[in-house]
Amino acid sequence: MQYAEPIDRLIKAFTRLPGIGEKTAARLALYILNSKREYVDEFAASLLGVKENVELCSECLAFSEKDPCRICTDSGRDASIVCVVSDYKDMMALEAMGAYKGRYHILHGNMAPLKGIGPGEIRIKELSSRIQAGGIKEVILATGFDSEGDATSMYIARLLKPAGVRLTRIASGVPVGSFVEYMDGATLGRAMDGRKEV
Amino acid sequence: MQYAEPIDRLIKAFTRLPGIGEKTAARLALYILNSKREYVDEFAASLLGVKENVELCSECLAFSEKDPCRICTDSGRDASIVCVVSDYKDMMALEAMGAYKGRYHILHGNMAPLKGIGPGEIRIKELSSRIQAGGIKEVILATGFDSEGDATSMYIARLLKPAGVRLTRIASGVPVGSFVEYMDGATLGRAMDGRKEV
């Protein structure tokens, strides 16, 4: 006994989402079956909507409704500072913090040689071009502190060094609200190395 | 800083799914943004597809591509036995077991007086009509063993008693693979009451 073909097809579509297994997909598909038509229409339209109405800002490569995006056209922000992040989500997290008033560059991934992702597979070339075009004084490297994020930042730092811009990396250490006793050695090592006069 | 409107709209649509919170919805929406257009088109089409191509079998009320459904038209199955389940998912679980060769009746819910769901809110009337129409010898009550499932089965048993059909309830007890020591008292009580000669 199998689900009816249209249900099976929907289950398959749900299964492709990250973190959604076969059982959850079936549960979601049956929820859709029991849902009002208006919601399902809205869901389908919003799926197509992001593909039709969202593009990449040609400047910073963030997802945006217009090109250039709101941040790149905001005259209240400092165009001479560019914060380099791996992912759009990282940019959103930094924006949620609210204190940063420069611009961004989204790499859309990290270098991962073991997975065959070299510098050419992520948006490093576009970053180089922005630096070459001039007007940028500082590049803040804000990729993650896992091995891939570290390697990506290191590669970019070496690549941009000749351009003569200031290159900085966000700090690594013990997160606010965390206890030293629960921290892993690598984090404590970084926290020690990054210590400051008080 | 907010997500672009089309992204926000998709996040809202994902948030309405059961078990999907705000953060997961954002992650899924960004996954869609990064997905190939073909997948997103297929996802949207499969959502609309279940609404357009799946209906309720007018006999057993299961979701089906055709009416009557495959089970109700299967001459290899015993039309004189009807297994009553709360939900389409319960029917699928019983079908996965493979041993049952009768028909089904899907209630589409359980009675839950505290939530204002009385017998009129679920498909009990349709079950009565099937029994009244004749040809059914046994009704197997296979709703769950929580208080709502129990109450629903009890109500149906009382309602159908005058019709003179055989009324049975699936057994409650210790699940296969489970240890007696970990079972709750209610389950062990049911297991004791349901004991059989060996």
Peptide bond into B68 cis (omega under 30): yes
Domain assignments of chain B as residue spans, ordered by start:
5-53, 75-169
Determine the distance in angstroms separating the CA of A198 from the nearest CA of chain B, rounded to an integer: 33
Q: Kindly report the number of other CB atoms within 10 A of residue B163's CB atom.
A: 13
Q: What is the pTM of this model?
A: 0.77
CA distance A16 to A159: 36
A10 to chain B: nearest residue by CA? Answer: B46
The CATH fold assigned to A5-53 is Helicase, Ruva Protein; domain 3 (1.10.8)
Determine the distance in angstroms separating the CA of B56 from the nearest CA of chain A, rounded to an integer: 10
A57 to chain B: nearest residue by CA? Answer: B4
Contact flag A13-B49 (C-beta cutoff 8 Å): no
Contact flag A6-B65 (C-beta cutoff 8 Å): yes
Residue of A15, A27, A43 for testing the chain B interface, max B β-carbons within 10 Å = A43
For B75-169, the fitting CATH number among 3.50.50.60, 3.40.1360.10, 3.40.50.720, 3.40.190.170 is 3.40.1360.10
For A76-169, the fitting CATH number among 3.40.1360.10, 3.60.15.10, 3.90.1010.10, 3.40.30.10 is 3.40.1360.10
Q: What is the DSSP string of B25-89?
A: HHHHHHHHHHS-HHHHHHHHHHHHHHHHH-EE-TTT--EESSSS-TTTT-TTSEEEEEEEESSHH
Residue A111 tokens read as 């270098």
- Which residues in chain B have Cβ-Cβ distances shorter than 8 Å to A48? 40-41, 44
In this predicted complex, what is the ipTM? 0.78
Q: Is the distance from CB of A176 to CB of A135 less than 8 angstroms?
A: no
One digit per residue, the tens of pLDDT, for chain B of length 198 reads 578 899 999 999 999 999 999 999 999 999 999 999 999 999 999 999 999 999 999 999 999 999 999 999 999 999 999 999 999 999 998 998 888 999 999 999 999 989 999 999 999 999 999 999 999 999 999 999 999 999 999 999 999 999 999 999 999 999 999 888 889 888 898 888 888 888
Contact flag B96-A31 (C-beta cutoff 8 Å): no
| Same-fold call for B5-53 versus B75-169 | no
Greatest distance between any 2 Cα atoms in chain A: 69
Let me know the angle formed at the C-alpha of A46 by B44 and A92, rounded to the nearest 5 degrees: 125
What is the identity of the amino acid at B31?
Answer: Y
